[in-house]
Structure formats: C-alpha cells, structure tokens
C-alpha cells in the first residue's frame, strides 16, 4: 500500500534533528483512501477492511474528500477515554 510507514522500536530518541513521537494506542493500524464518495480501508498487512467498517466508510464518504490518504489507529475507548483492545474486538464480534 502506498504511503504506509511502519514504526521501528528504539530505546531512545536520536540526540539531534527534529523528531516527533507518536503514542502507541491499543488498536488496529488502518490506512484509508478517500476520493469523493469512494472510500477504501486496509490493515497494515494489506487486508481490505472496507466491508468490515461500514460506519467509518459512510461517514468519510459524506465528507466528499479530495484524493486523500488517512493513516491512523482504529480504537475503541472505555468510559475514561482510554483505548481498550478487548472493546474493539467485542465490537467486531457483535457486528458478525
């Protein structure tokens, strides 16, 4: 998939240069391509999850984005706003 960057674990940040850090959330990495009302979703392993995520697909389709790539983490959160992988798994199980 174009544009997908996989993280590399390191023990410390480099001492020079400008670096940004990203929190590791407990979810699924998701890459989305949206163009107008056409939306496709893939996992980091290249599996097409478009059909598994109808709510996300419909919401993004309504936005009618220009040719856009979104790269992020799909999570479910608990009542405190913390990502909980088991809640995400339960949501997928309930949808099947």
By annotation, the residues acting in catalysis are: 24
In which residue are the tokens 């309930």 written?
94
d(CA 25, CA 29): 9
d(CA 82, CA 84): 6
E strand spans, 37-84? 38-43, 65-74
Which tokens go with 88?
Answer: 């995400």
- Count of H-run helices and E-run strands, the chain: 2, 3
């Amino acid at each position: 998939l174009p544009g997908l960057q996989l993280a590399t674990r390191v023990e410390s940040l480099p001492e020079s240069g400008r670096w940004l850090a990203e929190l590791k959330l407990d979810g699924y990495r998701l890459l989305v391509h949206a163009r107008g009302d056409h939306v496709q979703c893939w996992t980091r392993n290249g599996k097409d999850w478009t059909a598994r995520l109808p709510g996300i697909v419909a919401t993004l389709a309504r936005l009618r984005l220009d040719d856009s790539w979104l790269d992020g983490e799909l999570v479910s959160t608990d009542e405190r706003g913390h990502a909980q992988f088991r809640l995400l798994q339960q949501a997928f199980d309930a949808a099947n």
